[in-house]
Amino acid sequence: KQEVTQIPAALSVPEGENLVLNCSFTDSAIYNLQWFRQDPGKGLTSLLLIQSSQREQTSGRLNASLDKSSGRSTLYIAASQPGDSATYLCAVSRTSGTYKYIFGTGTRLKVLA
């Protein structure tokens, strides 16, 4: 059974810092991994999608890496801004059975001005 864990659960950093959010999963047989952002009271916004054959994806100040064999992904945020404050969720899809995403517990990020 796939389990997805995100560490830390919460993080508070001063503006301008580079930071890393971690996601680990127990079953390495995945199709892909997707990082989402959720603002309070809002829906989920897709940030990056990494296919199982890829090592990383970049979008602006965001870089997501995937090490499938060790069951890990990291989301790197460069030069953090107060507008980055949100909950970040990773989700993995499996290759067996019906295609669906299993979500992690999320990291609540606060960037202080």
Partner 1 sequence: DTAVSQTPKYLVTQMGNDKSIKCEQNLGHDTMYWYKQDSKKFLKIMFSYNNKELIINETVPNRFSPKSPDKAHLNLHINSLELGDSAVYFCASGQGAGYGYTFGSGTRLTVV
Q: Give the footprint of partner 1 on this chain (CB under 8 A).
A: 31-32, 34, 36, 38, 41-46, 49, 51, 87, 89, 91, 93, 98-103, 105-106
Nearest distance in Å: CB 44, partner 1? 4
98 vs 113 by CB, closer to partner 1: 98
55 vs 100 by CB, closer to partner 1: 100
Nearest distance in Å: CB 84, partner 1? 18
Contacts of 56 by beta carbon, 8 Å cutoff, 6+ apart: 50, 63, 64, 65, 66
State the Cα–Cα distance between residues 90 and 7, nearest whole angstrom. Answer: 11
Burial per residue of 51-86, b for 16 or more beta-carbon CB atoms within 10 angstroms, e otherwise: eeeeeebeeeebbbbbebeebebbbebeebeeebbb
Nearest distance in Å: CB 51, partner 1? 7
6 vs 80 by CB, closer to partner 1: 6
